[in-house]
Chains A and B, each alone.
Chain A
Amino acid sequence: MPDDRKKKPKTTAEAKIPGAYEGETVSRRRFMTTSAHTAGGIATAAFTLPALGMAFGPVFEKHEQQWEVVGPTADFPDDTYIPRTLTISRGIGEVGKTTVYVRKYNDKLDHEAKDEYNDYVAISTRCMHLGCPVRYVEASERFICPCHGGVYDIEGTVSGGPPVRPLDRFYTRVRSGNVEVGPRYSLNSELRRFSPRDPGMPIDGVGQYVYPARPTVRKIPGT
């Protein structure tokens, strides 16, 4: 079968380009154009890539959460919550603080598996609908969100409204008679621990894959 396609000329002389040199495969004009474009591309990339790297870097940086003393163990009963202030972002005053509700682990009440990190239960006030601050109402033993009507029971599991999963918690430990609150973690509806997710992300079933854990925040391995 004859090849109908035009044979691509190998040299500029074959292509009948005026001023072709013997054995030249690229015309000087094309060479100049290509080098100028390449130089422009490299120059643009040289300032664009570092700038983009700076903008997207925080998505991949690990964020360390310090352990912070919230009070002596005697402060916290096992049937109701004591609010404490926790600094989650340093150096920016009030904005970097959040409220955490702390009580002693209660065998009759709690369903979360007992281990070294939950002698004291520390519940985050971040509503799992869209992140508004919930407050604990002692009379009804419920956490109530002011924004869109999310309601949680004393364990922090959803008892009504739009939230998609139980309230986040913080790891706790006891050091020299003081309760210390550490990194945040999320829970599915069976109160199993997951790396922290943002509000609005269900982590039951496929949810944990649809809303993957981020490199910035991880639960303590093996918990």
Chain B
Amino acid sequence: MAITPERPKTTERPEPAAPKEPSPRKEKLQDKGISTVDWLDERTSLSAGTRWLLFRKIPRGTNWFYTLGSASMFAFLSQAVTGVFLAMYYDPSATRAYESVRYLTNEVFLGEFVRGMHKWGSTVMVILVFLHMARTFFFGAYKYPRELNWVIGVVLLILTLFMSFTGYLLPFDQRSYWATTVGVAINGTGPLVGPYLSDFLRAGPEFTTTTLARFYAIHMLLLPAIIAAMIGAHLYLVARLGTTAPPWIRADTSPELREDKA
């Protein structure tokens, strides 16, 4: 007979202290989870990246104003997701656009709600971006070494306004048609390049169905891609450089205090 290590047969008589130990089923599940994460992490080093991005040291005095950046980002994400689903119903042709928006709003289940989120969300996003910018300005967070992040932020602000401009045409009602006519004319008043810029935006001297398709493509493909890339760069610099303390937090002046803390 082979010698086998003796194992206590717990299955035969259950102990009263059993709840202390996790059940074998739960343990097995946990092991599975851990091994999956380990498998991924071994191949991607994602945990190190996540730790670098999320578990950063932040300065004393960090407060609710510091959430405006994340709020802007979530506004963008909301616009992106609702936009994708609006695109499933929208038809960017001059003869069909208004009708497709009417159908989406009045007939589609939750259509009015999702469109409403996109419409009002765009305003919310512009407001949040401006508040985020004001926070950065008044807290002096644009100063060395964060100048480049300010510049990227300004580019993002301009792109956000481009989004508003191109998106405003898409419902294709009287308001959006004439607002875009006026907007393109304002673009045209730039000296020397203005007339060519208007022709570029309209794809010709007159407003045609190509104008609408062009605005749609810029609104849903070109600008979101650039904005997403820019947000990536913006976040990378935030994680790399850290955030600033609010201006009312002063550096400790007493050398003893500093030593104590160290």
Contact = CB atoms under 8 A, between A and B. Distances in A.
A63 B206 contact: yes
Interface stretch (A27-35, A101-109, A114-122, A209-217): A209-217
Interface string A132-152: 110000000000000100000
Contacts of A131: 178, 181-182, 184-185
A132 B179 CA distance: 9
Interface of A: 55-56, 58-59, 61, 63, 88-89, 91-93, 95-96, 129-133, 147, 196-201, 210-214, 216-217
Given A89-B207, A89-B208, A95-B177, A212 B195 contact: yes
Contacts of A93: 94-95
18 contacts: A58-B200, A58-B202, A92-B93, A95-B95, A96-B94, A130-B181, A131-B181, A131-B184, A147-B182, A196-B205, A197-B195, A198-B198, A200-B189, A201-B195, A210-B192, A211-B192, A214-B195, A216-B204
A131 B185 CA distance: 7
Given A92-B208, A197-B195, A198-B184, 18 more contacts: A58-B210, A88-B206, A89-B206, A89-B208, A93-B95, A95-B94, A129-B185, A130-B181, A130-B182, A130-B185, A132-B182, A133-B178, A198-B195, A200-B188, A201-B195, A210-B192, A211-B195, A212-B195
A201 B189 contact: yes
A211 B205 contact: no
A128 B206 CA distance: 15
Contact of A130 (B177, B186, B200): B186
A92 B95 contact: yes
A61 B203 CA distance: 10
Contacts of B178: 131-133, 147
B83 interface: no
A61 to B, nearest CB: 7
B191 interface: yes
Contacts of A217: 205
Contacts of A89: 206-209
Interface string B208-231: 111000000000000000000000
A130 B181 CA distance: 7
A162 to B, nearest CB: 11
Contacts of B210: 58
State the 8 A-B residue pairs at the shortest beta-carbon distance, nearest first: A92-B94, A58-B203, A198-B188, A200-B189, A130-B182, A130-B185, A131-B185, A217-B205
A63 B185 contact: no
A201 B188 contact: yes
A199 B188 contact: yes
Contact of B199 (A91, A130, A133, A216): A216
Contact of A214 (B184, B191, B203, B205): B205
Contact of B185 (A59, A95, A200): A200
Interface in B157-199: 177-178, 181-182, 184-186, 188-189, 191-192, 194-196, 198-199
Contacts of A55: 200
Q: Which of A55, A59, A197 has the most CB of B within 10 A?
A: A59
A131 B191 CA distance: 18
B182 A63 contact: no
Contacts of B192: 210-212
Nearest to B95: A93
